[in-house]
Amino acid sequence: MTSTADQARSIVAGTEADTPDVAAATLAAAEAFSTYRATTPTQRADFLEAVAAEIEADKDAIVEAAVAESNLPEARIAGEVGRTTGQLRMFAGVVRRGDHLGVRIDPAMPDRAPMPRADIRQRMVALGPVAVFGASNFPLAFSTAGGDTASALAAGCPVVVKGHPAHPVTGTLTARAVSRAVEKAGLPAGTFSFVLGDGVELGQALVQDPRIKAVGFTGSRGGGLAIAATAAARPEPIPVYAEMSSINPVVVLPGALAEADTTALAQAYVGSLTLGSGQFCTNPGLLFLPAGEAGDAFLEATAEAVAAVTGQRMLTPGIAEAYATGTSALRDTDGVRVVASGDEGGDQAPAPMVSEAPAELLADADSAVAHEVFGASGVVVRYDSVASLLPHLDALEGQLTATIHATAADSAEAAALLPTLELKAGRILFNGWPTGVEVGHAMVHGGPFPATSDSRTTSVGSLAIERFQRPVAYQDVPADLLPEAVRDDNPWGLRRRIDGELE
Amino acid sequence: MTSTADQARSIVAGTEADTPDVAAATLAAAEAFSTYRATTPTQRADFLEAVAAEIEADKDAIVEAAVAESNLPEARIAGEVGRTTGQLRMFAGVVRRGDHLGVRIDPAMPDRAPMPRADIRQRMVALGPVAVFGASNFPLAFSTAGGDTASALAAGCPVVVKGHPAHPVTGTLTARAVSRAVEKAGLPAGTFSFVLGDGVELGQALVQDPRIKAVGFTGSRGGGLAIAATAAARPEPIPVYAEMSSINPVVVLPGALAEADTTALAQAYVGSLTLGSGQFCTNPGLLFLPAGEAGDAFLEATAEAVAAVTGQRMLTPGIAEAYATGTSALRDTDGVRVVASGDEGGDQAPAPMVSEAPAELLADADSAVAHEVFGASGVVVRYDSVASLLPHLDALEGQLTATIHATAADSAEAAALLPTLELKAGRILFNGWPTGVEVGHAMVHGGPFPATSDSRTTSVGSLAIERFQRPVAYQDVPADLLPEAVRDDNPWGLRRRIDGELE
């Protein structure tokens, strides 16, 4: 145990933040806002890269704390550190490029008849201080310095993180790394704050605070909906980007099944389903499988694969308990058949399970089949034809992902599914599994409600920066008073839209 | 009176739509969605241009009806027809260019270690059927085929318009023109629907309808907030773009006042204030004027200019009544002094009024000074120094616009105001007046709450199309199944972002 980690543990032991701490953090954020939002692209990008470097400097202590607090394997956590720093550096690149500033210039037309046209210029500005709620299942990449924080900072917004109570030391260590970068960059301390505490009250106080102008959240549907309701009920409602729940339907088409190595396909499915105890937003919770012999064979291979998996320790006792409740409800549902279970892995490490259910239960909101069980529980639904499948897909709620397994022989069927799936999900993938969300420019980790509270965006990938901005137009503003981004001499070398046409 | 208008009158007389009509319209919209959203950029742009042409074909009848129903002058209404058709054609250009599809491609990296990268492509898709609430004060440009409708149609969303009860014949005529374009384009009739009715219930039913996926609204704060609350309370909450209220502060700086032709400046102010009976969202309701002699002279010139204006007939009896109530409240407020009133212009045509109030009242939420009076009522607040002004500007609610009158001598003061104003308003303008919102690519007609319910966008200008879209990512989708927008051969010739870099 390093001394840094010891220090973080002492901090955690001593600090159960209550609402006054929230108020202090939001006040500091509000005071930091004018300075931080005025940073140049280079300053802000340098700062984001410095945050990544400071996290790397404490990598050993952070990994050790995160493994201890999350029960996740060291290799996974080490990978997550890389994902977190990579994400920060990606946003540094986005900020340097400056396309997110969305510069538009409609030059004056003094001679236009019947009325001259004014000079009008548009750029994006930062919304204001952002509250970020860390996720239980990604103590780094979706937490203190994760995607929400990185994209909000990239947009020019100070951030107040409510650390997740399941990994307070990890969060504190990460927060200290970010704050060191803030200090070294000469930015106001309030550019980044970290508050800790178990209570729902603390989160509510943060969302209700009038200085907070947007919220990022990754977690449960209940938590996300509560935050969205609180934000909507404020005297000044604010946007909430809550990434909540998804069962990520997978459709295996007959051709894919016929051509596949059945055992390998089943093992890949079970691998995705049980990865990290199934504690992923993109866990493949629902699989549509053709009726008939090939499907039977896949199900048998799946049963074998599941039976060979031993449960891994889940993140928290509460999550393990919810998994137990959810899988019991499935077992107790008329018409649901347990295909196979793995072995329990000891305390807080329940057995993975695959069950089979009739399609009709999907549409029954009271049925256990219709709800996400967070963890390694998969439901298989058999179907006769793609035509019979469509209404069931259509009846599903909004999803983060939808997957099709298809070969060239399935082309017509896959094409028939696509229009429905793209209205249901933020990401459509072929011949793969939805776990493993690439951080990049084209990624969408979002989707229609209730997968998220706001389908118009993504919480992973560079588009996420747009969540924390709003446009301002400058009309006939004297040249020397214009913000750099919209000046004629274009000091930041930005791509601009002139009269609607990109330069 | 043309026969087209006669027909529209009969339709209006016979149709008071109730909730079943809403349901029929939304059902038709939902059924039209899959066909309409699949139109190519060329098809959709041609259609938008056809809508403009059909409106022009009925221009005489539309102008006649709108003048009769709105009490606005014929020249203004004729101009508004041009604005409406120009807006539709601008969106046709946006659709043809295709930048709104936001194509991003992160090509596969099969050899990347430790994990290969999948091929990921992103494009924007239409949200679904959109409900549009027409505005009272712009029977054309912000109503049936106005900016909300044009941008939603451009995004690929079918539209259901709730016509404004103040101009049902205008709305019906316009709707018939749009529907002719729908028919001639061979699109499903449900691509565009128009429902009429006085009741709040009809609007609520429309917003509550599960087939509606977003709402555009221009109108009162009360109306906008009610719609936003209804939308947030749905089982599936949806985005609401409500443009609500704004008092559009104007700051006259000392240098500008010293250099100005005082009479001309005062006349320009009063001209903007009383234009169209002051019935503009961007009406300059609050003006900050330096204390001292130059300010006194401006106020005297303003008094003269106001006294010379006769009230024009307002849009509806309700709006005239609200104006009377608002101006009475101002007169009855301790500390408020009426600078001057114009003459009444007869029934429903109250006198314009300028009053002077102490700055302290701005922060008093219970004071009449703190609230928008829709119509030609302006409040002048005197100030000693820019430093003393800043807290008052900071305490203002969110605004559509903020205006500064400045010369080179005011440069430092103007620079000090800008950071505050750009957090308060969607558009900042210099040495002009906020009325007259240019339709273009750089315009922002939006702003922080309560100017709008969603500051992240605009309801005028080409950026408005983005309100009705969401991103979808396609991962390893076979080439022949990819949507045209993201295909390698780029059949629509789109500007694409490859690995984060614009082509």
Distance separating alpha carbons of residues A124 and A473, to the nearest angstrom: 9
- Give the tens place of pLDDT for each residue, A26-35: 999 999 999 9
Query: Based on the domain organization, do A236 and A254 belong to the same domain?
Result: no
> For the stretch B365-376, what's the b/e string if a residue is b when 16 or more beta carbons lie within 10 angstroms of its beta carbon?
eebbbbbbbbbb
Say yes or no for a CB contact (<8 Å) between B430 and A477: yes
Q: Is residue B346 part of a domain?
A: yes
User: Residue A223 pLDDT more than 90?
Assistant: yes
Considering CB atoms only, which of A232, A472, A478 is closest to B232? A232
Who among B422, B423, B471 is closest to A463 (CB)? Answer: B471
Residue of A nearest to B475 (CA): A429
Whether A18 shows a pLDDT value over 90: the answer reads no
Residues of B in contact with A122 (CB under 8 A): 441-444, 463
Q: What angle do CA A392, A397, A402 make, to 5 degrees?
A: 75
A379 assigned to some structural domain = yes
A181 and A315 fall within a common domain: no
Report yes or no: A143 and A150 within 8 Å, Cβ to Cβ.
no
Are A326 and A462 contained in the same domain?
Answer: no
- For residue B16, the model assigns a pLDDT of 53
Structure confidence at residue B197 (pLDDT):
78
Note whether B236 and B253 are same-domain residues.
Answer: no
Residue B487: predicted pLDDT:
98
Q: Does residue B257 belong to any structural domain of this protein?
A: yes
Place of tokens 């001499």: A489
Task: Confirm whether B306 is domain-assigned.
Answer: yes
Largest alpha-carbon pair distance within chain A? 80
Q: Which residue of A has its CA nearest to B428?
A: A474
pLDDT at A363 over 70: yes
Provide the CA B193 distance to its chain's centre, in angstroms. Answer: 20
**Rounded CA separation A454/B244 (Å):** 22
CB atoms B229 and A232 under 8 Å: yes
Nearest in space to B312 (alpha carbons), one of B281, B271, B340: B271
Q: What is the pLDDT of residues A408-418, one digit of tens each?
A: 999 999 999 99
Same domain, B187 and B322: no
Angstroms from A20 CA to nearest CA on chain B: 23
Q: Please determine, for residue A120, whether its predicted confidence score (pLDDT) is greater than 90.
A: yes
CB contact under 8 A, B436 and A115: yes
The answer to whether residues A379 and A356 touch, using CB atoms and an 8 Å cutoff, is yes
Predicted confidence (pLDDT) per residue in B151-198, tens digit: 999 999 999 999 999 999 999 999 999 999 999 999 999 999 999 977
Same domain, yes or no, for B82 and B140?
yes
Q: Is B190 part of any domain? A: yes
Cβ within 8 Å, pair B419-A476 = no
**Which residues are CB-contacts of A336 (< 8 A; sequence separation ≥ 6)?**
A330, A355, A356, A357, A361, A368, A369, A379
A438: in domain: no
Cβ-based contacts of B120 with chain A (< 8 Å): 438, 440, 442-443
Average pLDDT score over residue span A378-401: 95
pLDDT in tens, A167-200: 999 999 999 999 999 999 999 999 999 999 777 8
Cβ-Cβ contacts under 8 Å, B444 against chain A:
122, 471-473
**A243 flagged as catalytic:** yes
Q: Do B239 and B256 fall within a single domain?
A: no
Q: Kindly tell me if the per-residue pLDDT of A282 is higher than 90.
A: yes
Residue B3 has a pLDDT of: 66
Q: How many domains does chain A have?
A: 2
Are residues B181 and B227 located together in one domain of the fold? yes
Nearest CA in chain B to A500: B441
Q: Could you list the residue range(s) of the whole structural domain that residue B359 is in?
A: 249-430
Q: Decide if B478 and A128 are in contact by the 8 Å CB cutoff.
A: no
Chain A nearest CA to B442, separation (Å): 5
Which of A423, A446, A477 minimises the CB distance to B428?
A477
| A198 Cβ neighbours under 8 A, 6+ residues apart | A16, A165
Q: Which of A33, A34, A122 is best to mutate for the B interface (most B CBs within 10 A)?
A: A122
The pLDDT tens digits for A425-439 are 999 999 999 999 999
Q: Is residue B162 part of a domain?
A: yes
CB neighbours of residue B24 within 10 Å: 15
Of B52, B66, B54, B50, residue with least CA distance to B8 = B66
**Which residues from A are below 8 Å from B431, CB to CB?**
476
Which residue in the block uniquely carries the two structure tokens 């429902």? B195
Q: Spell out which residues of chain A touch residue B402, defining contact as CB-CB under 8 Å.
A: none
Distance from CA of B485 to the nearest CA of A (A): 13
- Per residue in A244-273, pLDDT tens? 989 999 999 999 999 999 999 999 999 999
Pick among B87, B424, B475, B484 to test the A interface (most A CBs inside 10 A): B475
Q: Cβ separation of A473 and B442 shorter than 8 Å?
A: yes
Distance from C-alpha of A473 to C-alpha of A458, rounded to nearest angstrom: 25
From the list A80, A243, A356, A413, the catalytic residue is A243
Size of interface A-B (CB pairs under 8 A): 229
Q: Which secondary-structure segment (H or E) carries A215?
A: strand A214-218
Nearest-by-CA chain B residue for A229: B232
Q: What is the CATH number of the domain that holds A128?
A: 3.40.605.10
Tell which of A94, A157, A455 to mutate to test the B interface (max B CBs under 10 Å).
A455
Identify the closest residue of chain A to B440 by CA–CA distance: A106
pLDDT at B19: 45
For residues B238 and B146, state if they share a domain: yes
B116: nearest CA partner in chain A: A438
- Residues in B closer than 8 angstroms to A502, CB to CB, are 99, 495, 502
Residues A72 and A219 placed together within one structural domain of the fold: yes
Residues A129 and A235 in one domain: yes
- CA distances A408 to A62, A253, B403, B477, Å, are 46, 11, 61, 12
Q: Do residue A384 and residue A414 come from a single domain?
A: yes
State how far residue B143 is from chain A, nearest Cα, in angstroms: 23
Cross-strand partners of A131: A160, A215
Distances (CA, A) of A183 to A7, A28, A51, A75, B23: 19, 14, 11, 31, 58
- Picking from A99, A429, A500, the nearest residue to B475 by CB comes out as A429
Asked if the structure places residue A255 within a domain, the reply is yes
- In a mutational test of the B interface, the residue from A444, A466, A501 whose CB has the highest number of chain B CBs within 10 Å is A444
In the residue annotation, B183 being an active-site residue is answered as: no
Could A476 and B125 be called an inter-chain contact, meaning their C-beta atoms sit closer than 8 Å? no
Mean pLDDT of chain A: 95
Q: Which residues of chain B have pLDDT under 50?
A: 1, 18-19
Whether residue A20 has pLDDT greater than 60: no
DSSP string of A331-363, one letter each residue: HTSTT-EEEEE-B--STT-PPPEEEE--GGGGG
- Collapsed DSSP state (helix, strand, coil) of residue B367: coil
Q: Where are the alpha helices (DSSP H) in B342-467?
A: 386-395, 411-424
A438: nearest CB among B120, B408, B432: B120
Inter-chain CB proximity A427 and B458 less than 8 Å: no
Nearest to B418 among A106, A448, A481 (CB): A481
Residue from A281, A356, A397, A413 carrying the catalytic annotation: A281
Report the pLDDT value the prediction gives residue A92, as an integer from 0 to 100.
98
pLDDT tens for A52-88 read 999 999 999 999 999 999 999 999 999 999 999 999 9
CATH code, A271: 3.40.309.10
Q: Using 50, 70 and 90 to split pLDDT, how confident is the model at A1?
A: very low
Take residue B84 and report the two structure tokens written for it.
Answer: 């409406």
Q: Which two tokens stand for residue B185?
A: 């384009």
> What local confidence, expressed as pLDDT, does residue B4 receive?
72
Instruction: Name every residue whose Cβ is closer than 8 Å to that of residue B91 and which is 6 or more positions away in sequence.
Output: B48, B150, B151, B153, B154, B462, B465
The predicted pLDDT at position B366 comes to 85
What phi-psi label fits residue B193: left (phi over 0), alpha (psi between -120 and 50 degrees) or beta?
beta
Residue B81 DSSP one-character state: H
Neighbours of A501 (CB within 10 A): 12
Kindly name the residue from B54, B281, B397, B413 that is annotated as catalytic: B281
Burial B343-363 (b: 16+ CB within 10 A, else e): eebeebbbbbbbbbbebebbe
pLDDT band (50, 70, 90) for residue A3: low
* Mean pLDDT along residues A458-467: 98
